[in-house]
Copies of this chain bind each other. A is one copy, B any other.
Amino acid sequence: MTLGIAVVGLGGAVGTTMAAGIELLRQGAIDKRGLPLAEVNAGVAAYEDIVIGGWDLFPEDLAAAAEGHDVLTHKQFVAAEAALSQIIPWEAVADTRFSPLVDGSNKVGGTSHRAAVEKISADIGAFKARYDSVVVINLASTERSGRGFDSLAEFEQALDDDSPEVSPAMLYAYAAIRSDVPYGNFTPSQAADMPALIEFAKQRGVPIAGKDGKTGQTFIKTVLAPALRSRGLHVDGWYSTNLLGNRDGLALSNEDSLASKVATKHSALEDILGYPVADHIIDIKYYRPRGDDKEAWDNIDISGFLGQPMQIKVNFLCKDSILAAPLAIEVARCLDLARQRGEGGVQEQLSVFFKLPMTDGGRPQHAFHRQEEMLIDWLSA
């Protein structure tokens, strides 16, 4: 059974790493390290049966893209090069009003929202014709947050009106749902996370999930915070700073995109602890010396017995795409499994993969070990 993953923002570091990783797994050149569900046996697609395609603003093939991102080792690049060079991104839908710092030439120009949806749908359709099933995963640069639409009717009216409040991520999500293809949002962009599209997904029985992949700092945060709470240790302040030098970092140099990103990182902590942390500061800096490597430094001020203060500092030297790519693959496999099981609408059991888990109205679960339990229960159902 083949599974096609259609990636929005395919040529970025995460998308090319997904494609390279799948190819190297197929060759047996790497093991399944970093893939959380490597040992799960629940009807999900085999990694070797996955095919990667998608859209990007830059027209270069994935071998060229991979060379630029410099994520693969030399040996891995050589092994994957031929396969990657066959993957050419489709023309993307873009809007600099939502991502002002990222633009490219490989896009459908000056088109209406409805024409954009048709274009995306046609791409999805052609992809679906070739594989047993298809999932759309959003890995595009973060958009500034827009307003959500409260009903499908309102959203469709905005499409008809070419409203400036409809962003590209919303168009992709809408087109995927309309094509009966599951949609996962690995970015902080709003995309399907609004009543209008949740309603649409439920109506059509299409699984959707998001948002914002929980890769580095927030992963650690949602692991540590529940344990601090369990020990009765009070969090007096939590300062989180991030250094990031890749295309995502550049996009986040834009203040509105940053605000959208930081917002998704904020809520987890208070939800887990059960009280507001007055001094919870999150910072993200575009810092080029790191390239795709990413660094997080967290300082946690806690107080314990007798009210006495202590500190925990966590310094995570990670690789953005190395952490994100396998999670995006797992999200796609799980969304496809949900489709097989006939489960439409928001897939809350995938919360463990997201910084800001989408829900169908309730409060999200942020504590890592509880999210994990939800997923394990669902997989073994």
Contacts and interface: CB of A to CB of B under 8 A. Distances in A.
A33 B234 contact: yes
Nearest to A368: B227
A380 interface: no
A21 B304 CA distance: 11
A27 B371 CA distance: 40
Contact of A326 (B219, B220, B232, B290): B232
Contacts of A359: none
A108 interface: no
B17 A306 contact: yes
Chain A: interface residue count, which band?
A: 35 or more
A278 interface: yes
B223 A306 contact: no
Q: State how many copies of this chain the complex holds.
A: 4
Contacts of A346: none
Interface stretch (A111-119, A174-182, A310-318): A310-318
A157 B252 CA distance: 47
A243 to B, nearest CB: 6
Interface string A10-27: 000000010011001000
Given A285-B239, A368-B227, A322 B308 contact: yes
Contacts of A323: 304-305, 310
Nearest to A33: B234
Nearest to A77: B74
Interface in A236-251: 236-237, 239, 241, 243
A312 B310 contact: no
Contact of A297 (B285, B297, B301, B318): B297
B35 A305 contact: yes
Contacts of A307: 30-31, 33
A132 B314 CA distance: 45
B283 A279 contact: no
Contact of A76 (B34, B306, B310): B306
Nearest to A226: B369
